């Protein structure tokens, strides 16, 4: 009897092995499917990619001097020191060596000293989009000229490592401030004869085309565009419109060409 049970057990074991092997041979593909290739990753869309440049931008008309009027940014330095920003002016020119780049000079103050920063903006295949190259590709700053009339204002977007900063530039300083800068006599007059200040301001501000005349509609437009980038008014930092730097001595020029 014991021998019979051993025979039955042996037959059952053989049948199990046979059925297992058959399942592996016939249905193995279903139980262990071949690994499939992962679909290619979609290119990462950054905020600057969703920002359209001004249509048919004429880069030649962007050349010249622009005064920084306002900045919208979550940059930690501005958040912590936004009340201490200094007057800033940029000058854009064609480079002598290439038609694919622009020379950009930025003048501002630091610790009461005027400094000038020299940089190169690279044109791209998209009109109105520029690149300021860093020491590595991930350090590049992508720039978009978002809105401009060339003659009075420009709204520009700057993106570094996925974070957006917006800047509002103006072509002109208010006439009062322009005179205020150029004439030391005017300083003395305004100081010693305060009763004339109100009248002087009235005449100066409306003497001609100035940033003040454009500030209300421009600031509204700037605020609306900034809000679309999640940059509410708490992150807006107006810049002084007076006492801009003139010529800067060589010891205070920072040459970031080709990069810093």
Predicted local distance difference test score (pLDDT) of residue 54: 82
201 within a domain of the structure (yes/no): no
130 within a domain of the structure (yes/no): yes
190 within a domain of the structure (yes/no): no
- Mean pLDDT lowest for which of 34-48, 166-180, 236-250? 166-180
Predicted local distance difference test score (pLDDT) of residue 160: 95
- Mean pLDDT lowest for which of 60-69, 132-141, 166-175? 166-175
Q: Name the band, by pLDDT with cuts 50, 70 and 90, for residue 18.
A: very low
- Indicate the SS3 state at residue 236: strand
**pLDDT of 7 strictly over 70:** no
Please give the share of the chain, as a percent, with pLDDT higher than 90. 55
| pLDDT greater at residue 102 or residue 45 | 102
Q: Name the band, by pLDDT with cuts 50, 70 and 90, for residue 211.
A: very low
Those residues with Cβ within 8 angstroms of residue 123's Cβ, 6 or more apart along the chain or in another chain: 59, 100, 101, 102, 130
54 within a domain of the structure (yes/no): yes
Predicted local distance difference test score (pLDDT) of residue 138: 92
Predicted local distance difference test score (pLDDT) of residue 79: 92
Please give the share of the chain, as a percent, with pLDDT higher than 70. 71
* Residue 255: φ, ψ to 5°: -95, 105
Q: Name the band, by pLDDT with cuts 50, 70 and 90, for residue 40.
A: confident
**pLDDT of 204 strictly over 60:** no
**pLDDT of 20 strictly over 50:** no
pTM of the predicted protein model: 0.70
122 within a domain of the structure (yes/no): yes
Mean of per-residue pLDDT scores for the chain: 78
| Average pLDDT for 8-14 | 46
CA gap 81, 218 in Å, rounded: 24
Contact 128, 62 (CB under 8 A): no
CA gap 251, 256 in Å, rounded: 14
247 within a domain of the structure (yes/no): yes
CA gap 110, 19 in Å, rounded: 83
Predicted local distance difference test score (pLDDT) of residue 124: 96
9 within a domain of the structure (yes/no): no
Number of separate domains in the chain: 1
The residue range of the domain holding 80 is 47-174+210-255
CA gap 141, 139 in Å, rounded: 7
CA gap 68, 89 in Å, rounded: 6
- For residue 244, the domain's CATH number is 2.40.128.20
- Highest mean pLDDT, choosing among 19-23, 93-97, 177-181, 256-260: 93-97
| pLDDT greater at residue 31 or residue 97 | 97
β-bridge mates for residue 64, sequence order: 92
CA gap 208, 173 in Å, rounded: 11
Question: Which helix (H) or strand (E) is 121 found in, with range?
Answer: strand 113-123
Q: Check the CA dihedral 82-53-92-159 and report its sign.
A: positive
| Average pLDDT for 76-97 | 94
- Mean pLDDT lowest for which of 10-14, 142-146, 241-245? 10-14
260 within a domain of the structure (yes/no): no
| Average pLDDT for 106-122 | 96
- Indicate the SS3 state at residue 70: strand
3-state helix, strand, coil in the chain (%, to 5): 40, 25, 35
Residue by residue, DSSP assigns 137-162 as GGG-EEEEEEEE-SSSEEEEEEEETT
């Amino acid at each position: 009897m014991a021998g019979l049970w051993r025979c039955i057990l042996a037959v059952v074991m053989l049948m199990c092995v046979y059925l297992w092997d058959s399942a592996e041979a016939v249905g193995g593909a279903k139980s262990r499917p071949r690994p499939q290739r992962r679909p290619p990753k979609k290119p990462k869309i950054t905020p600057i990619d969703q920002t359209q440049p001004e249509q048919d931008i004429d880069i030649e008309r962007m050349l010249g001097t622009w005064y920084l009027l306002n900045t919208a940014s979550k940059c930690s330095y501005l958040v912590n020191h936004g009340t201490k920003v200094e007057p800033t002016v940029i000058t854009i020119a064609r480079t002598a060596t290439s038609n694919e780049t622009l020379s950009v000079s930025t003048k501002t103050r630091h610790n009461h000293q005027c400094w000038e920063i020299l940089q190169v903006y690279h044109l791209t295949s998209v009109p109105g989009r520029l690149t300021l190259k860093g020491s590595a590709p991930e350090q590049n700053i992508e720039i978009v000229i978002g809105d401009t009339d060339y003659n009075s204002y420009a709204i520009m977007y700057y993106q570094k490592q996925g974070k957006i900063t917006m800047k509002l530039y103006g072509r002109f300083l208010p006439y009062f401030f322009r005179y205020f800068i150029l004439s030391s006599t005017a300083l003395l007059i305004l100081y010693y004869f305060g009763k004339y200040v109100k009248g002087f301001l009235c005449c100066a501000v409306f003497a001609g085309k100035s940033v003040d005349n454009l500030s209300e509609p421009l600031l509204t437009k700037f605020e609306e565009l900034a809000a679309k980038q999640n940059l509410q008014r708490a992150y807006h930092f107006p810049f002084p419109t007076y006492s801009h730097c003139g010529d800067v001595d060589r010891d205070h020029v920072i040459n970031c060409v080709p990069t810093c």
